[in-house]
Structure 1
């Protein structure tokens, strides 16, 4: 990493790393945050004002129900309390996730991923192992996705399956988001058209 020709470990606060060079930020510098999986009530606030998540995001059942952490030596660690889905609003500033986005959770108030409405890029540097997916949304309570800014999934498959209330997923041109034809898009067993019509969740004809 270089700053004005000198080797540095990290860029100064008013500059950002672009291809190994520290360059001045236009307005505000992107804030890169490392992630501890899964997301829970104990770490959610650490993502405030982050624009780049360096790693992967996992939203699991335990994210909302809370859980008891178990240390490597099998002793009990910290107990994390329940968390409301609205706490995920902290991710509204995120534009890039370098790894994967893994969502496998139910909650009466967890019906959309609009918390990630500014997410543009999923890098896929890490993938969910069983399907090698970088966007993995399986068996959730979601009714719509709300990923309105997503432009690119650089690597890994897209798997959106068995979300019985999820509408619109089949209407998205996922093949335009992936970098290669080798990256599969598995969109299946989500809400059928009749279910979506009953909930008035249908695309406008225009």
Structure 2
């Protein structure tokens, strides 16, 4: 019951699942699952497995986007929902009568011995036609209840249903469409019934603002419930579009880009005028954290990291160098992301009289590396200034990526007695010895 209670607290009154929904291990047949009835959208995958309840009431679920797939393959998995000891226990009906769009991913409905009407659902109709053709998504349905053991579909369902009652007829919006629809969804078989190409689920008319409407409460953006179209990509004030209005638009007469007065940020599947306060702005989108190559400027913006070449990087400015030294240290000044390796050989700090190379000073060292946040290769230190016995020079270093490991084994190698103090923000080293 703890598992059930936790699931109920998590999903009650939820309309959009940002991620995956896994309904598993509900082995008491009398559990009340009506708390699932408000879910309309899942951005990841839906897994239903090892349950003994009779019905899964996802009555309002319209779309599974498949942005994350189970085992990198499946968007919908329904399997092993029966009791081996008691053959009378197991899922008998899927109340998915509103589900008309799986954007990407395979379907697997297998080994549900009590589950009826798996043969009266047009699974291919649910799958996005363009995505299915380009990525070869398939539907595998086998090992479920025998058709003869289940009641037939009502006559009004024309042979397609989720349950033997008229409210549970399957609504088909793809396989019934005219060829003139060119793979879009439709509301009927006529060539005048085609939906706009950006509509997911279905439509009430041919325009991009006539896609099927869903009701949701997005509390982070709006104070009240609002109507919004169910779109394949983004919703821009009630119209389904491929992308939100860009920051700049091209002026063909002046041969230049001008600021777009209608620019809007992309937040999840919506176009918004401002990003929520808890998110950062990266280019034209609202993000939780900056992507690789960008950093938070402490003002809510992700800005490009200043990059430089590491020691010995093939094709780089320091390709022929074997160590940081007093002549090349300036190359790293202001650098935030080092592409390659950082190496300090033993003679660097005392200098080399044979090549007239002066010693690298602590001031030069600090000036060069105080801004570095990431080293994509390895950090190799064979000696360190005697007056500086810690890592505080790398005061902002957060990550040593280990894309190129020292002798294939180490991302961080220190051959000197240095205090563990600093770098203060280092949170990841690929491998170390």
Q: 1:60: Cα distance to partner? A: 2.1
After superposition, the CA RMSD in angstroms is 3.0
For the pair shown, the structure with the greater C-alpha radius of gyration is 2
In structure 2, the partner of 1:80 is: 357
Matched, 1:151 2:431: no
The offset of 1:143, in angstroms, is 2.9
Q: How does 1:1-206 map to 2 (within 5 A)?
A: 26=301, 28-36=303-311, 37-67=322-352, 79-89=356-366, 90-129=368-407, 132-138=409-415, 140-153=416-429, 155=430, 157-159=431-433
Deviation at 1:65, TM superposition (A): 1.9
Deviation >4 Å, runs of 4+:
none
Alignment: residue pair count: 130
Q: 8 Å contact 2:391–2:419 — kept in the other structure?
A: no
CA distance in structure 1 between the aligned counterparts of 2:335 and 2:417, rounded to whole angstroms: 26
Q: Which has the higher contact order (CA 8 A, sep 6+)?
A: 1
Query: Closer, same or farther in 2 for the Cα pair 1:56/1:19, shift >3 Å?
Result: closer
Question: Normalization by structure 1: what TM-score?
Answer: 0.55
Are the equivalent residues in 2 in contact too, given 1:107–1:141 (CA < 8 A)?
Answer: no
Distance 1:147 1:105 in 2: 17
**Secondary structure at the residue paired with 1:62?**
coil
Gaps of 5+ in 2: 1-247, 249-282, 284-290, 294-299, 312-321
TM-score in terms of structure 2 length: 0.27
